[in-house]
C-alpha cells in the first residue's frame, strides 16, 4: 500500500471511502433531457439588462450578510406567508445539509426518514451529518405507503422526514392528506420537510400552510423554474426554527452574482411563470405521445419530467445515447423502478427529436 493510500485510509471515514461520488453525465453534443432543467433562455432584451446588472456588481466585497433585498423579493413573489422569513442556500442541496447538520443530535443517533426511491441527497446528507437513514419503500404503483410511513415514524422517532412534493424520480404528487398525517405524527419530536423543487409545474404547495404546523419546513429551489445555473434554494419555517438553522448556515453562502441574477429574475418572474405554463402543456403532449407507443407505461407526473417503464431500460437508454439523446436510466435505483426511464420535458423541437429517437430505439 502506497503512502497516499495509507493516508486516505487513516484520515477519511470508511463510509465515505465506500461510496461513489455524485455522478453527473457529460452532456456535450447531446439533446440533454436528464436533469429536469428549464430549456428556455430569458428573452434577449432581458439578457441584455441582466448583463448590465451583473457588470455593476461589486465583486471585491463580501455579500451583505442579511441578504435582505433578495429575501424580500422571494417573500413577495413566491407565496411566503406574512410573518414568515426565508433562509437561502447554495441550491436546495445546501439547505438539506444544513437541516441534517442542525438536527444531528449529540446525545443519541438521530434519524432521517423518507419515502424511497426519492432524492438521493436526503440519504447522503444524513450520512455525512452522522445520522441514520431509514427509507420507506413506495407502493408498487409509486404512491406513498402511509401505514408503513407512520409505523416507521413511531418506531424510529426521526428528527427529520423529507417528503418530495412532487417526488423525484417518480414525478407523482403524494396525497396532501397523507402528508398532513405525517406532519401530525411527528408533532413534538420531528420536523416534516416538504421539498417543493417542482412547485412551478405541480401548482400545489404547502407553503401557505406553514402557520398551521410548527414542525413544518417548506423548501424550494429556483433551479427548475429556469435558474439552475445560479444555484439558489430557499426554505421557510416557524421563525424560531429558522433562527436555529441560520446558526448552521455558512456566512456569505450566496455569492453576489447569484444574488444579482436572482433579484433580476424575480423582478421578471412572470416570464419564468409563462415558461412553466408552456412546459406543463408540453408535458401533457409528451405523455400522450409516449402512452400511444406499444410497450410503454407512462406514470402520472406533476413535475417537469416524465417517468416511463419499457421492456428493457438498459437497451432503450443505450440506443438513445447512440442517437445523441441523454435521459436518465433509473431502472436500477430501486425495485419499484425496474426498467424505468426519466425524461425531462423540453422544447417542442427537443421533445419531437426525443420521440423520433425513442420510437426508432423501440423498433430496432
Which regions of the chain does DSSP assign to beta strands (E)? 31-32, 87-89, 111-116, 132-137, 160-164, 191-195, 216-221, 233-236, 297-298, 305-309, 325-326, 328-329, 340-344
What are the residue ranges spanned by the domains of the chain? 23-42+270-363, 61-267
φ, ψ dihedrals at 37, nearest 5°: -90, 150
Which regions of 52-129 does DSSP assign to beta strands (E)? 87-89, 111-116
Q: Which residue has the cell 433562527?
A: 243
The pLDDT value given to residue 247:
97
pLDDT exceeds 80 at position 207: yes
Q: Which residue has the higher pLDDT, 28 or 131?
A: 131
Closest of 280, 237, 10, 276 to residue 102, by C-alpha: 237
The pLDDT value given to residue 21:
83
Q: What angle do CA 306, 339, 15 make, to 5 degrees?
A: 95
Segment 67-85 mean pLDDT: 96
The answer as to CATH 3.40.640.10 being correct for domain 61-267 is yes
pTM for the whole structure: 0.95
In order of 57, 71, 183, 226, 256, the CA distances from 61 in angstroms are: 9, 19, 42, 27, 9
- Summarize pLDDT for 102-130 with one digit per residue, the tens: 999 988 899 999 999 999 999 999 999 99
Instruction: Report d(CA 161, CA 177) in Å as an integer.
Output: 16
| C-alpha cell belonging to residue 22 | 455524485
The pLDDT value given to residue 331:
95
What's the CATH number for 23-42+270-363? 3.90.1150.10
Amino acid at each position: 500500500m502506497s503512502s497516499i493510500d495509507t493516508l486516505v485510509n487513516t484520515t477519511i471515514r470508511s463510509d465515505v471511502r465506500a461510496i461513489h461520488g455524485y455522478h453527473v453525465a457529460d452532456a456535450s453534443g447531446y439533446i440533454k433531457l436528464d436533469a429536469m432543467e428549464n430549456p428556455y433562455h430569458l428573452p434577449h432584451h432581458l439578457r441584455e439588462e441582466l448583463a448590465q446588472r451583473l457588470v455593476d456588481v461589486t465583486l471585491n466585497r463580501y455579500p451583505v450578510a442579511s441578504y435582505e433585498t433578495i429575501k424580500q423579493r422571494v417573500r413577495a413573489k413566491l407565496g411566503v406567508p406574512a410573518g414568515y422569513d426565508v433562509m437561502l442556500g447554495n441550491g436546495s442541496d445546501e439547505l438539506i445539509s444544513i437541516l441534517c447538520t442542525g438536527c444531528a443530535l449529540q446525545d443519541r443517533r438521530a434519524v432521517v426518514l423518507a419515502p424511497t426511491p426519492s432524492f438521493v441527497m436526503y440519504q447522503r446528507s444524513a450520512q455525512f451529518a452522522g445520522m441514520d437513514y431509514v427509507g420507506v419503500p413506495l407502493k408498487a404503483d409509486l404512491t406513498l405507503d402511509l401505514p408503513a410511513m407512520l409505523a416507521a415514524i413511531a418506531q424510529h422517532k426521526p428528527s427529520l422526514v423529507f417528503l418530495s412534493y412532487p417526488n423525484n424520480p417518480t414525478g407523482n404528487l403524494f396525497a396532501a392528506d397523507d402528508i398532513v398525517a405525517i406532519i401530525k405524527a411527528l408533532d413534538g419530536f420531528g420536523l416534516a420537510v416538504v421539498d417543493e423543487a417542482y412547485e412551478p409545474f405541480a401548482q400545489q404547495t404547502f407553503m401557505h400552510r406553514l402557520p398551521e404546523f410548527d414542525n413544518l419546513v417548506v423548501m424550494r429551489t429556483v433551479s427548475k423554474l429556469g435558474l439552475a445555473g445560479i444555484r439558489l434554494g430557499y426554505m421557510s419555517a416557524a421563525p424560531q426554527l429558522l433562527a436555529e438553522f441560520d446558526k448552521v448556515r455558512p456566512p456569505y453562502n450566496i455569492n453576489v452574482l447569484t444574488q444579482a441574477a436572482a433579484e433580476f429574475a424575480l423582478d421578471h418572474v412572470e416570464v419564468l411563470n409563462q415558461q412553466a405554463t408552456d412546459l406543463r402543456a408540453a408535458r401533457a403532449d409528451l405523455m400522450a405521445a409516449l402512452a400511444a407507443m406499444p410497450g410503454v407505461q407512462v406514470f402520472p407526473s406533476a413535475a417537469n419530467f416524465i417517468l416511463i417503464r419499457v421492456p428493457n431500460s438498459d437497451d432503450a437508454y443505450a440506443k438513445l445515447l447512440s442517437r445523441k439523446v441523454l435521459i436518465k436510466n433509473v431502472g436500477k435505483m430501486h425495485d419499484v423502478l425496474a426498467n424505468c426511464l426519466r425524461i425531462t420535458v423540453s422544447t417542442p423541437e427537443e421533445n419531437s427529436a426525443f420521440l423520433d429517437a425513442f420510437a426508432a430505439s423501440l423498433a430496432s
